Structures are given as C-alpha cells and as structure tokens.
C-alpha cells in the first residue's frame, strides 16, 4: 500500500468512525453499530500506527516520539504543503 493509499484509507476510516459516532448519539443501544464502530476504530489505529512507523507522525498530539533525540514532526511536510496532501482522480486537493 502506498503512502497516498494509506492516507486515503485513513480518511475513509476516520469519516466512518465520525459518522457512526453521530449515529450512536441517537441510537445508543444499536449493538451492530457499536461493533462496527469498534472494528473501524481498531482498523484505523492499526493503519495509523503502520503509517507513522513508515512515514512519521501524522499529528503532534497523537503520536509518540520514536526518535528520542530529534523531534520528528519538523521533518515531515506540513498539512498546507502540496506533498502532504493526496490527490483524488488526478486532481490535487488544495
């Protein structure tokens, strides 16, 4: 899976978890939605960890510092830089 594939999948999983969370606000006893929500969160956490091991932290407040001598956040493209964003159907996001 490429870097862009991983970022796209993470966006999908995060959107699904947000949507399910909103649904569960009004349907708190729906066990199927709860199970799906937990599966999506687990999948997103695993993919996020895999991404961060390969490419560095996605955000400064969620990641742990794997390099204890250098702060990794400064070495990655910032969200407003072109190379930090994925493209959809050949179109740049920005």
Phi–psi pair at 54, nearest 5 degrees: -90, -35
- Is there a domain that residue 88 lies in? no
- Is there a domain that residue 21 lies in? yes
- Is there a domain that residue 78 lies in? no
Supply the range of the domain harboring residue 9.
1-58
Question: What pLDDT is recorded for position 5?
Answer: 93
- Is there a domain that residue 30 lies in? yes
For residue 77, the 8-state DSSP code is P
Beta bridge partners of 92: 87
Q: Is this model's pTM higher than 0.75 or not?
A: no
CB 92 within 8 A of CB 84: no
Dihedral (C-alpha) 41, 42, 45, 48: value to the nearest 10 degrees?
A: -100
Residue 27 pLDDT > 80: yes
Residues 33-72 have pLDDT tens digits of 999 999 999 999 999 999 988 887 777 665 555 555 555 5
Question: What pLDDT is recorded for position 92?
Answer: 54
Number of domains in the chain: 1
């Amino acid at each position: 899976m490429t870097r862009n594939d991983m970022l796209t999948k993470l966006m999908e999983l995060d959107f699904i978890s947000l949507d399910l969370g909103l649904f569960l606000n009004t349907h708190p006893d729906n066990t199927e939605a709860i199970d799906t929500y937990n599966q999506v969160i687990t999948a997103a956490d695993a993919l996020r960890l895999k991404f961060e091991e390969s490419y560095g932290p996605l955000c400064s407040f969620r990641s742990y510092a794997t390099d204890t001598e250098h702060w990794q956040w400064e070495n990655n493209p910032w969200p407003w830089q072109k190379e930090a964003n994925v493209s959809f159907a050949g179109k740049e996001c920005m």
